[in-house]
Structure 1
Amino acid sequence: MVLGRDLLDNTLNLVPALIPLHKDIKEDSPEYKELEKKNQMIVDNKARAGSVTDAIEYFDQTRTLLDKLRAVQKQLREYIREGVTENLLEARQSELICAGILVLVCVVSPIIIALVKNAVNTIQVYARNLTEKARELQYEKELSDSLLYQMLPPSVAKQLKQTQQVPAEFFASVTVYFSDIVGFTAIAAVSTPYQVISFLNSVYKVFDERIECYDVYKIETIGDSYMVASGLPVRNGNKHATEIASMALELLEATAACRLPHRPDQTLCMRSGIHMGPCVAGIVGSKMPRYCLFGDTINTASRMESTGERECAVCCCRFV
């Protein structure tokens, strides 16, 4: 009886829904209370006279209690069946949901993979195009820098790109060279404009190639006039006079080898003027900036060139 009571109490702890039935058995049932008293008498084991009436009553009470316990057992079985059925239903629903998710993943995965692959290909194409554009941009930058360095001294051009302005600079000692082609006016008079431009271009291309071997900087060409300086914009100590003199001799030699395409028998002669002294140099203009020199040194070199004698074999430069 004690073991049954413990099992019944444990069942109530596991299935709280049976509490009303348990209350009906233990609290509201007089048979249970009578059985408790008689069970206690049995446990006490005191001597007493036998009674068939008490035995029959004990049997009936026990049978009634067992019937109530069977009702509890039946109710517990129903609760278990309902719980298992509900759990199975939830399991089936979860299985269906998982199966649906799996099917959805199987259907969507190829689409996602295709989209990702397409995105990766697009990114790769974009990266290649970007790399190519960067390479083209670098190439164009090098071309523009090369053109800028041909128009301006590299050191001045870099400073102009960084600060947008280059202040004028004084040079205590530089050497300036001027030259022009003797009889250029007469040559131009018997030549077409195209022939004049082609002729000057061929001559000055030779000059430009020759001066690359010297520490000089070509300032400008105006018509047939060719102007070069040494000692600026990068100072070279006292080497500027030697550099200009050596360059002048080589240009004179190069002139002797030049011929007019439309008048091959005519020999070219040139006048040259060189002067050494101080000057001021700086950038003039903003639309088309030029590196210009100012001072008496430049004026003197120009006058020496314009008043000098023609020469076709050796240099007639005068130094002042």
Structure 2
Amino acid sequence: MAGRNRVIPVESIKNRKSPGTKLHRSNSLSSTLSLSPTELNEAIMGMLTVGKRLEPCKRVCIGNPITTAGQRKQLAKMLTVVLFPLAVLTAITAVDFSNSLSMYMNTAEVMMRIEFGVELGDFLMALQNERDMSSLYLSRIGSDTKSDLLQAYPQTDEALDKLSSWPVSSSNKLKEFQSREWYINFINRHRYELDSTNTSVTAEINFYSNHIDIFIRWMYEAVSELNTGLIWKTLVGYQELIISSEYIGRERGYGIYYYSVGSFRDRSHYILFIESQDTARAHFESARMYSETASDIYQKNLDTNNDTLQEINKLRNEIKINSSLVQEGSTSAAKWWFSNMSIYRDVMRNTQRLLTSKINRLLEQNAALDMTNMIIAAAIFLGIIMVSPTITFSVYKLTSNIQKYSLQIARKTKALNKEKKQSEEILFQMLPKSVAQHLKENHSVNAEQFQECTILQSDMVGFTKLSSNSSPLQVTEMLNILFSCFDNRINLYDVYKVETVGDGYLVVSGNAFKKIMLA
């Protein structure tokens, strides 16, 4: 044939296979679309080198994002990356909400017990007044002292009825303290038997003081069980004020006995008076140490009753030296001591009330802050609950779209590699491999000269006449069969096929061929 058109052996191209891959007859992109998912996964895994370079265990752990198993692993990882922070944030919010709720409930419990402490303080004050009137009556039995004592009874009963709950701890095993009704019956029985039992002033003071100690001990236990946070010092100061007030009441009771009789006839009474005074002072100094507010409130109230304090100090000095102007005792002197000490104790009581108001304000502030924290935590928690499905669905859709896009790229890459291999095979048929490689790498190819080589150029005798008597398809089929046979033969020797032009077949061998092959 006159032209330089080159005839390519089709069968040789068909029979060439890439290592590890499965070739199909179609050369177009549509051939990959006809693959089943399993065949496509195997083909892509054969094409990708990432999976081959990894060890089997790592390949299983990491997963190929193009395979079905890899897609599932990738989706699980993406959802984990998104949902794990949401889960952590949800847990933190839940813990914060739980802590705020616990603190709010604890604050409410403290406020309730503080309010009950005020009720209990009123009851203790009434019980102290009854104790003092009872000791005054026993010191100077008379109609006037009996009248004062009878007036104190209903005041105690009224304060007892106002208690919102029975304050004594369940650990107390005394029968008379098991309920309010039991205690009312017990105290009434003691009142009725006062004249018939011929009890002493000291015993009467101890009777009421022991009861007051039980109520105060319960208050200590009740507040100690609470988590009071930053206001614990103020609460301790509040408790110390209550105890100090109780010992001031005891001091008042022993002072009533002193002025009623005229002197302490028994050394133990004098010692009890001094101990009550010192104990009251010690607890009050402790209250001032724990709570500066208590000290400021007390000093402010005491400044308005400075004359009373001077009179009390004067009377205390008289009792300490155990010498009174009224040697035989006087009810009026006892009542004068009682009234002055009541004013002093009222100052302590007012300090307790003002301190209680401040504690309640602090607790209300803490409760408001805890409520705000709970609202914020609840809002964040609800926001997470509402947003989580949207974020999860968005991540799922985004990951699915990325996986679909990756699969499309893999399919196109597979088809492109297949076409590229076929193009390279055609190029290697047209040019020596070394020359084709230089051209692929955009390197220049210089002409070479060889001293000796063996060249064989064959020609088909009568090809022109044969072609004229045959159809183009017959000519092509004949040349394909002939040249395919030549190709199979030269593969057995050190021979390089240069080209085929028409019916011409050009091969080279010798030194030139070896240099080309080595290159």
TM over 0.5: yes
Q: How far apart in 2 are the matches of 1:40 and 1:127?
A: 98
1:105-141 per-residue CA deviation (whole Å, 9 max, x = no partner) reads 3322222222232233233323333433333333233
**1:101 and 2:380 equivalent?**
yes
Q: How far apart in 2 are the matches of 1:113 and 1:107?
A: 11
Aligned partner of 2:489 in structure 1 is 210
Q: Unmatched 5+ residue regions in structure 2?
A: 1-276
Residues 152-163 of structure 1 aligned to structure 2 (within 5 Å): 152-162=431-441
Preserved contact between residue 21 and residue 72 of structure 1 (Cα < 8 Å): yes
Q: How far apart in 2 are the matches of 1:169 and 1:128?
A: 47
Q: Taking CA–CA contacts closer than 8 Å with sequence separation of 6 or more, which of the two structures ends up with the larger relative contact order?
A: 2
Residue 85 of structure 1: how far off its partner (Å): 3.5
Preserved contact between residue 452 and residue 511 of structure 2 (Cα < 8 Å): no
Preserved contact between residue 456 and residue 506 of structure 2 (Cα < 8 Å): yes
What SS does the corresponding residue of 1:111 show, helix, strand or coil? helix
Counterpart of 1:67, as a letter, is D
Aligned partner of 2:510 in structure 1 is 231
Preserved contact between residue 454 and residue 509 of structure 2 (Cα < 8 Å): yes
Q: How far apart in 1 are the matches of 2:288 and 2:507?
A: 115
1:9-39 per-residue CA deviation (whole Å, 9 max, x = no partner) reads 4444555444542222455642475267448
Counterpart of 2:486, as a letter, is F
Aligned partner of 2:457 in structure 1 is 178
Counterpart of 2:347, as a letter, is K
Aligned partner of 2:135 in structure 1 is none
Residues 69-80 of structure 1 aligned to structure 2 (within 5 Å): 69-80=348-359
Residue 228 of structure 1: how far off its partner (Å): 0.7
Aligned partner of 2:297 in structure 1 is 21
**1:41 and 2:320 equivalent?**
no
1:170-192 per-residue CA deviation (whole Å, 9 max, x = no partner) reads 43332111121223344455566
Which stretch shows the higher mean deviation, 174-183 or 160-169?
A: 160-169
Change (3 A) 1:57 1:178: same
Q: How far apart in 2 are the matches of 1:230 and 1:33?
A: 134
> Which of 47, 63, 68 is residue 342 of structure 2 equivalent to?
63
Preserved contact between residue 215 and residue 230 of structure 1 (Cα < 8 Å): yes
Change (3 A) 1:137 1:97: same
1:236-294 per-residue CA deviation (whole Å, 9 max, x = no partner) reads 8xxxxxxxxxxxxxxxxxxxxxxxxxxxxxxxxxxxxxxxxxxxx8xxxxxxxxxxxxx
What SS does the corresponding residue of 2:445 show, helix, strand or coil? coil
Residue 70 of structure 1: how far off its partner (Å): 1.5
Q: How far apart in 2 are the matches of 1:203 and 1:124?
A: 49
Q: How far apart in 1 are the matches of 2:486 and 2:313?
A: 137
Aligned partner of 2:4 in structure 1 is none
Residues 62-141 of structure 1 aligned to structure 2 (within 5 Å): 62-141=341-420
Aligned partner of 2:306 in structure 1 is 30
What SS does the corresponding residue of 1:178 show, helix, strand or coil? strand
> Which of 325, 334, 344 is residue 50 of structure 1 equivalent to?
325
Q: Unmatched 5+ residue regions in structure 1?
A: 237-280, 282-320
Preserved contact between residue 308 and residue 340 of structure 2 (Cα < 8 Å): yes
1:34-81 per-residue CA deviation (whole Å, 9 max, x = no partner) reads 2674487379x4464435687665444322221211211111222233
What SS does the corresponding residue of 1:214 show, helix, strand or coil? coil
1:150-187 per-residue CA deviation (whole Å, 9 max, x = no partner) reads 22222332344346223333433321111212233444
Preserved contact between residue 218 and residue 228 of structure 1 (Cα < 8 Å): yes
Counterpart of 1:113, as a letter, is T
Change (3 A) 1:171 1:183: same
Q: How far apart in 1 are the matches of 2:348 and 2:455?
A: 129
Q: How far apart in 2 are the matches of 1:39 and 1:20?
A: 26
Q: How far apart in 2 are the matches of 1:165 and 1:117?
A: 51
The structure with the greater share of residues assigned to helix is: 2
Counterpart of 1:78, as a letter, is S
Q: How far apart in 2 are the matches of 1:86 and 1:145?
A: 83
Change (3 A) 1:138 1:200: closer
Change (3 A) 1:71 1:197: same
Q: Give the superposed CA RMSD.
A: 3.6
TM norm structure 1: 0.58
TM norm structure 2: 0.38
Aligned partner of 1:4 in structure 2 is 280
Preserved contact between residue 177 and residue 229 of structure 1 (Cα < 8 Å): yes
The structure with the greater share of residues assigned to strand is: 1
Q: How far apart in 2 are the matches of 1:15 and 1:49?
A: 38
Which stretch shows the higher mean deviation, 89-98 or 50-59?
A: 50-59
**Across the two proteins, how many residue pairs are aligned to each other?**
236
Q: How far apart in 1 are the matches of 2:315 and 2:477?
A: 138
Change (3 A) 1:129 1:233: farther
Which stretch shows the higher mean deviation, 52-61 or 220-229?
A: 52-61
Structure whose alpha-carbon radius of gyration is higher: 1
Q: How far apart in 2 are the matches of 1:119 and 1:8?
A: 71
Identity, % of aligned positions: 30
Counterpart of 2:362, as a letter, is G
